[in-house]
Structure 1
């Protein structure tokens, strides 16, 4: 199965505002006698990369080679940030520009358990000098020249000025490298030249001045945002998942995996890093968005700014594929299969009445499952069976047959179709492989020509001779009644 474990991640250039996220944690058991404030008994003090540096950490943790470009001061926070980044394999920090007049931005969060009590920000955002901007552009150009994907991580802290952005977009265009922007501007026209922006719901609302209460309103606002800069828009919507609006007006809504949200710090960083990482591995944008949704679901369950490992993400993707319900409506099946395909799975399809499951059926199912990663079984509805087999059939109703079929280990999903043949179902689901027994010839397989038209295949598998539901029914009709204690 082609999953994230098998991805060959490439080179990502990350340019933007660097932050140092500090965490002072402890426990609170009393209120100060000096003022009505809690007294924290400090237990731990940690510092981790934030902002564009956290994006770099996320991409490197997944397996990318990262070149990070940003601005730091000549201060203690800069030293801590550089040390933390240098400790992570895969991150090249030679592109960090040091300006003694700059204050390295630091955000300190004070926590009791998982509850944040207060945040203390240390920053003095000033206009960068011409010399500093020139050094940033030069470092960005070097990074872009060897990159597969570029990320602009804009925290509105002064690094990604109009001048620097224009130089990034021009260099990326020259090298044919896509650019993703995590935006903070009040409108997105400054990002003209980017291929994708990843605003959250609030940022999209500010930039478009549009209501964002449902899917339709999100789509309308994303269309306006796309018009502002000319590229695709990925809207992160917290517990509602994400919406991808492509500039050709195709829209994909991706549901988020259910999880208990502890801390959304850095979730946007994880999304943009994962999308870029998956694109650097040669995957398409829709696949990248689906995988990024899973990554975001993991990171919000962690305390503070954090990264998601390849092993964590791979396990989550596999679990999501297993959790999809076995019996599905056609629309639900289409959605599930789309997710499977995004995860790289090869989807196999077979069909039948499966009235009384016998060893011949089991052999067919096992052989079909061996042809790919996910097996769909399409069952004739009760009405369809009656038209094919007569009024005395089926012996078990469609729900009973679906329950039995869905319980088989090799079956990943069951759909029920009401037509005489599964052609319409195959056309809707677009499986990669259609499997039938070797008692058919390939040209007789319903839907075979359609599947082969988009690169799929038809496979005929050996069947167990002498096994059929009809023969079992005939034996039951002529056999003498047996004792209930036999």
Structure 2
């Protein structure tokens, strides 16, 4: 579906943030005060706010012009460095003001647990001269845009005059405006095509209860009347509700996913909707695709993006109900995205013909050695060569579906060779995990992974558990003989 889209140009105007992450592990409590002591491992910085919207749209394939405000400080340089390194993003519209502080949010994490967040910001009204520069930068960006996004984090960029000018310029050129709102009164967004509040923002704008679909519908009618456009409400695990200003209501259910971090999920939604609209698709299609994108991004740690390959794979999986199975090329692109956001990727492999407690123990142990787990499964032809003509008992699609349904597994690929060496070389995982019945030098691909700083981990297995022994037991072979 999405692979056939030709994405257009998106102008993104709003508050620019830098999200920093200090990663480490906590093993003790400080003797100085009852607080955890973090052993720092590494630090990353990624664009946040409107800059994260731009990253999401560009990652999907849009050409993006970004307009916002930064100071003349180290955080501004770090933000520019990441944005310049991302294909498809034009940062000529970023205005620098020496009197402005680039807004920075630093999160300290142990594993996936956030310990504390430190904000560096000084919110004040930009000068009239700075606001004029922002309006002029927005005018240039809108001139070549198919869709405009106003990313309002209430950090000072989208003042009344800037916001009104942006919507007026876009309306005069017939370009739809999507607003991710932070105001309590949506009348400031009059003239926008679509506003995308979350449940809390909708509650603040209306003061109404939002427990049921009917209550949501009543509230969106109120805010739609405030600005005269369409409303898309993001409702976390309950999905999304789209209200068309003509009165039609569509409820889109969320896709089940492990939720690790909702940071920036709204950015992903608005970026995906804008991107799909720029490809000439209708709003309903954009919302359905954005729901899938949201389910992907909340399973990632920290502010993140969703790649075209990831989204395409998710949409195909939903249509085919094929678990988490993707082709090798797409898996490689997804892993590149994981690595970009600092994830540690673990790899393990096997036939997994009849899944038994030994398999579960291996997968669970493997998942504990990183942030993302990819499992490679031998194809049917590969299993036959290794195990004989009577195997596998289940075809590769069935085996992949079962493994993909396990909560510890993030991705499944199928390989046709006798060993997973070519798959490991294509995916470049950080860790390869095998059972302790191997020695490290015997692990296929181990030397390759170690050549670029990766590692090989051997984990204990549950003795006496194998598909072969199960088959032999069903055939009446004594267990002592089956174990030989």
TM-score by length of 2: 0.66
In structure 2, what is the equivalent of residue 256 of structure 1? 254
In structure 2, what is the equivalent of residue 268 of structure 1? 266
In structure 2, what is the equivalent of residue 105 of structure 1? 103
1: CA distance between counterparts of 2:102 and 2:126?
Answer: 13
- Following superposition of structure 1 onto structure 2, how do residues 6-17 of structure 1 map, counting pairs within 5 Å? 6-17=4-15
Equivalent position SS for 1:22: strand
Equivalent position SS for 1:45: strand
In structure 1, what is the equivalent of residue 56 of structure 2? 58
2: CA distance between counterparts of 1:151 and 1:79?
Answer: 24
In structure 1, what is the equivalent of residue 225 of structure 2? 227
Equivalent residue in structure 2 for 1:277, among 275, 288, 291: 275
In structure 2, what is the equivalent of residue 154 of structure 1? 152
In structure 2, what is the equivalent of residue 118 of structure 1? 116
Shift of 1:173: 1.0
2: CA distance between counterparts of 1:223 and 1:110?
Answer: 40
CA shift digits 1:48-78 (9 cap, x unpaired) = 0000000000000000000000000000000
- Following superposition of structure 1 onto structure 2, how do residues 307-456 of structure 1 map, counting pairs within 5 Å? 307-323=305-321
In structure 2, what is the equivalent of residue 82 of structure 1? 80
CA shift digits 1:245-286 (9 cap, x unpaired) = 010110000011101100000000000000000000000000
In structure 2, what is the equivalent of residue 460 of structure 1? none
1: CA distance between counterparts of 2:38 and 2:302?
Answer: 18
In structure 2, the CA distance between the partners of 1:54 and 1:173, relative to structure 1 (3 Å rule), is same
2: CA distance between counterparts of 1:126 and 1:258?
Answer: 40
Equivalent residue in structure 1 for 2:26, among 25, 28, 31: 28
1: CA distance between counterparts of 2:313 and 2:125?
Answer: 45
In structure 2, the CA distance between the partners of 1:131 and 1:291, relative to structure 1 (3 Å rule), is same
Shift of 1:324: 9.7
2: CA distance between counterparts of 1:274 and 1:310?
Answer: 10
2: CA distance between counterparts of 1:137 and 1:49?
Answer: 22
In structure 2, what is the equivalent of residue 189 of structure 1? 187
| Structure 1 spans left out of the alignment, 5+ residues | 326-406, 408-486
In structure 1, what is the equivalent of residue 370 of structure 2? none
CA shift digits 1:362-408 (9 cap, x unpaired) = xxxxxxxxxxxxxxxxxxxxxxxxxxxxxxxxxxxxxxxxxxxxx9x
Equivalent residue in structure 2 for 1:301, among 299, 302, 305: 299
Query: What is the aligned length?
Result: 324
CA shift digits 1:121-163 (9 cap, x unpaired) = 0000111100000000000000000000000000000000010
In structure 2, the CA distance between the partners of 1:324 and 1:315, relative to structure 1 (3 Å rule), is closer
1: CA distance between counterparts of 2:8 and 2:99?
Answer: 35
2: CA distance between counterparts of 1:260 and 1:65?
Answer: 31
1: CA distance between counterparts of 2:35 and 2:171?
Answer: 54
CA shift digits 1:152-180 (9 cap, x unpaired) = 00000000001001110111011100000
In structure 1, what is the equivalent of residue 40 of structure 2? 42
Which is higher, the Rg of structure 1 or of structure 2?
A: 1
In structure 1, what is the equivalent of residue 130 of structure 2? 132
Equivalent position SS for 1:20: strand
Aligned-residue Cα RMSD (Å) equals: 1.2
Shift of 1:323: 2.3
> 1:171 and 2:173 equivalent?
no
Equivalent position SS for 1:44: strand
Shift of 1:193: 1.1
In structure 1, what is the equivalent of residue 201 of structure 2? 203
| Structure 2 spans left out of the alignment, 5+ residues | 324-397, 399-484
2: CA distance between counterparts of 1:159 and 1:58?
Answer: 20
1: CA distance between counterparts of 2:134 and 2:273?
Answer: 24
2: CA distance between counterparts of 1:187 and 1:114?
Answer: 36
Equivalent position SS for 2:291: helix
2: CA distance between counterparts of 1:310 and 1:223?
Answer: 33
CA shift digits 1:424-459 (9 cap, x unpaired) = xxxxxxxxxxxxxxxxxxxxxxxxxxxxxxxxxxxx
CA shift digits 1:320-350 (9 cap, x unpaired) = 111299xxxxxxxxxxxxxxxxxxxxxxxxx
1: CA distance between counterparts of 2:40 and 2:163?
Answer: 42
